[in-house]
Amino acid sequence: MPELLIEACGWLGALLILGSYILVSLGRLSGRSAAFQWLNVAGAAGFVVNSGWHGAIPSTALNVVWMGVGLATLWRIGRGASPAA
């Protein structure tokens, strides 16, 4: 059963990140929006769980950084600062 949950985390993470990219590409979301950032943070978290479980350290590290970028951007958005500033 844990393996199924781990795989579900990975697939959900992939869908969230892919979905966020599609929504930005279609102009439905801004790359600077909180929604886009949350989709990427949640997606990266799913990849961290899945990659970490499978021992894929480079992928785990990349997604921890990806989460950090998203969380830092959300923090800036929450403070009222422009994400690019």
Q: Which residues of 10-46 are buried (b: 16+ CB within 10 A; e: fewer)?
A: bebbeebbeebbebbeeeebeeebeebbebbbbbbbb
Predicted confidence (pLDDT) per residue in 31-73, tens digit: 999 999 999 999 999 999 999 999 999 999 999 999 999 999 9
Closest to 42 (Cα-Cα) out of 18, 78, 7: 18
**Residue pointed to by tokens 């997606």:** 43
* pTM metric for this prediction: 0.90
- The model's confidence at residue 84, banded by pLDDT at 50, 70 and 90, is low
